[in-house]
Structure 1
Amino acid sequence: MKKKVFALLVLAAFFLSHDMYLKLDTFFLEPNTSATIQLFNGTFDKSENVIDRDRMIDASLLGNGERFKVAENQWSEKDSITFLNFKTGEAATWVAGVSTKPRNIEMDAEAFNGYLRHDGVLDMLKWREENDALDKDAVEKYSKHVKAIFQVGDKTSEDWKTALGYPIEFIPLSNPYEKHTGDQLEVKLLFGGKPLANQLVYANYKVTENHHSHSEEEHGHSHEGSAHSHEDEAHSHEDAKAHTHNEEVHSHDNGEKHSHSHKKEEAGHTHSHDGGEPHSHEEEEHKDDHVHTDGQQLRTDVNGVVSVDLSTDGIYYLRTIHLAHSDEEGLTHESNWATLTFEVVHGHSHEEDTHAHAHAEEDEFPTYIFWIGSLLIIGGLFWWFNKKKE
């Protein structure tokens, strides 16, 4: 019995692998000011543990064509979050990147299958199913390579398209800060410096406080008082943090413990995942089809490109895990994880504002005509009364 319970705990532990993200409270910063980037290791909403500096092969900031190595004293830690403290430079579209050393992890067959399903590494899971390998244990070498693109000041630059030379990395094909809500952004995925075709990529977003959705406008949905409001729905992107990590053990990073608590509703035990529909643990207990692959599920084309729908104002994040068999002694697999974060807002050009303002003035009765007419009437009455007295 104890052996069975332990096996279930191990399986549950690997159902919670660690993605890594570089995040900012806002991706729009002022030039030459102090700023902070957060390094999350866990989910996009919650970091489970800090990242030691000796794990980082590279930590860089890139702007105006110059790449800066992050110094040791620029890092700090609080709770489970690692902070990069820096001063922004001149106006430009900046890039931040972190690449980690590889580590090894051993998993029994059941835990490995659960991890593949949970994190959406579906091609490897399919291979194992088709090749009668679902009962095979795994020893995986993994490393993580993460980037964030942020805008400093009003002037954009070409830094967003610079490859940092990581084993795997996302590179947009156009500047995210020249895109707006309702647009699409094409992003290329490089592996070993070459386009990676036929790779699964997941894209999602976290809505900002005053978000604006083109898809809702097109279908006549209101942002306020609507049954389809992101703020009001049970699967709100702002509030759906019901699936946090505070109790279970997971070791897809450094073997540290973290939790997996669930938000309790009045009528039962439900939880949701980054905007997904709430569902019950009474229905899903012991199921192994429990996955964390919400958002857009994309696959790179022959040129390694995916097209991401920017349907709503918010902070967007892309993630992928490239997992392959390994011939290295003592290993069965090797994985490289990549994420990219940036922010998208609804764009209003000065020309549009000027045009709208001009139309508003054309439609209104000019104020100066009213005052001239009033003065003429008053003057006429004054003249008439004076003449009548004579």
Structure 2
Amino acid sequence: MHRSTKTFFLVIAFVTLSSHELFLKSDSHFLSPNSTSEIYLLNGTFDKSENSITRDRIINAKIIGPDYLYEPTDGDYSDENNITYLKFKTGETGSYVAGISTLPRMLEMTASDFNAYLDHEGLANTLADRKKDGSIEKGAKEKYSKHVKSLLQVGDQRTDHYMAQLNYPIEFIPLNNPFAMKVGDSISFQLLSSGKPLANQTVHYSTSVPGKDAHENESSTQTNEEGVLTISPDKAGKWYVATIHMVKSTEKGVDYESNWATLTFEIK
């Protein structure tokens, strides 16, 4: 195979694989108190949704703020142009967190596609294990689920509700309030898996840039021994942190189980 042809297919594989990501966003993450608002799910990339999320997959959806807990029902969602929308009414002023988790689905890939996916997502340990146990030449069946969060600033008063733990299989907990930060300030997050710090995990982060998909400008870092990572957003706008945690599965007919996490916020 010619080098250019091989590169083309790898690029296509990366685009296809990155389209698995799920993000919870708002047109503006700065909202007014006691007003009708809207957040939405992009199932694809940070800038484009490939398809909506069916209601039977959504679990543990909630929005938390000061004296505020909203748990949507199926009738609160709507779909348009491959995007899933959720309308809600904000409460009093404060820093809110919204979250949605999905039930698992199965994904089956050839050896070459799965290995390229692992390499692209920084899942070096899984790739190394496949080389060590001889499964590097084998395809894989992966059971995956997605767990997404979004931070919202309602009114002017900042509160610590943005740190609320939603008890998802994997989730980011902000250690600083991004709405109190300016461009160039450092923001730290703790990554939890089953409620415990997840160390040495690759995390991607980026923001939208006019004329480009945010994934084209991704940077990556790793969590430390306490599961903490720090980024310094260098421009105003909507940002995300994202990761995939993968382990070998003991379930029959499943080779690997992965949990995907994203968290979105906005810097003024």
**TM-score of the superposition, structure 2-length normalised?**
0.91
- The superposition leaves residues 197-242 of structure 1 with CA deviations (integer Å, 9 ceiling, x where unpaired) of 0100011112xxxxxxxxxxxxxxxxxxxxxxxxxxxxxx11124x
Structure 2 residue aligned with 1:27, among 26, 29, 33? 29
Secondary structure in 2 matching 1:330: coil
CA RMSD between the two structures: 2.0
Equivalent residue for 1:339? 262
Q: Decide whether the 8 Å contact of 1:11 with 1:111 is kept in 2.
A: no
Q: Hey, what's the Cα distance between the residues in 2 that align with 1:29 and 1:343?
A: 12
Structure 1 residue aligned with 2:211, among 212, 228, 239? 239
CA distance 1:85–1:239, shift in 2 (3 Å): same
Q: Write the mapping of 1:211-250 to structure 2, written as runs, cut at 5 A.
A: 237-241=209-213
Structure 2 residue aligned with 1:101, among 100, 103, 107? 103
Secondary structure in 1 matching 2:221: strand
Q: Hey, what's the Cα distance between the residues in 2 that align with 1:11 and 1:295?
A: 15
Unaligned runs of 5+ in 2: 1-7
Secondary structure in 2 matching 1:16: helix
- The superposition leaves residues 95-128 of structure 1 with CA deviations (integer Å, 9 ceiling, x where unpaired) of 1100001112222212211222333333322332
Higher strand proportion (structure 1 or 2): 2
Percent sequence identity over aligned pairs: 44
Alignment coverage as a number of residue pairs: 259
Structure 2 residue aligned with 1:59, among 58, 61, 65? 61
Structure 2 residue aligned with 1:92, among 94, 99, 119? 94
Q: Hey, what's the Cα distance between the residues in 1 that align with 2:185 and 2:125?
A: 29
- Tell me which amino acid in the other structure corresponds to 2:210: E
Q: Decide whether the 8 Å contact of 1:16 with 1:115 is kept in 2.
A: no
Displacement of 1:9: 8.3
Q: Decide whether the 8 Å contact of 2:170 with 2:195 is kept in 1.
A: yes
Equivalent residue for 2:4? none
Equivalent residue for 1:323? 246
Q: Hey, what's the Cα distance between the residues in 2 that align with 1:146 and 1:71?
A: 17
Runs of 4+ in 1 over 2 A off after TM superposition: 8-15, 117-123, 125-133
Q: Hey, what's the Cα distance between the residues in 2 that align with 1:10 and 1:308?
A: 29
Q: Hey, what's the Cα distance between the residues in 1 that align with 2:182 and 2:150?
A: 17
Q: Hey, what's the Cα distance between the residues in 2 that align with 1:343 and 1:11?
A: 29
- Tell me which amino acid in the other structure corresponds to 2:254: L
Q: Hey, what's the Cα distance between the residues in 2 that align with 1:313 and 1:10?
A: 32
Q: Decide whether the 8 Å contact of 1:14 with 1:112 is kept in 2.
A: no
- The superposition leaves residues 177-207 of structure 1 with CA deviations (integer Å, 9 ceiling, x where unpaired) of 111111100100000000000100011112x
- The superposition leaves residues 150-195 of structure 1 with CA deviations (integer Å, 9 ceiling, x where unpaired) of 1000011111111000000000112111111111001000000000
Q: Decide whether the 8 Å contact of 2:46 with 2:215 is kept in 1.
A: no
CA distance 1:134–1:151, shift in 2 (3 Å): same
**TM-score of the superposition, structure 1-length normalised?**
0.63
Displacement of 1:328: 1.5
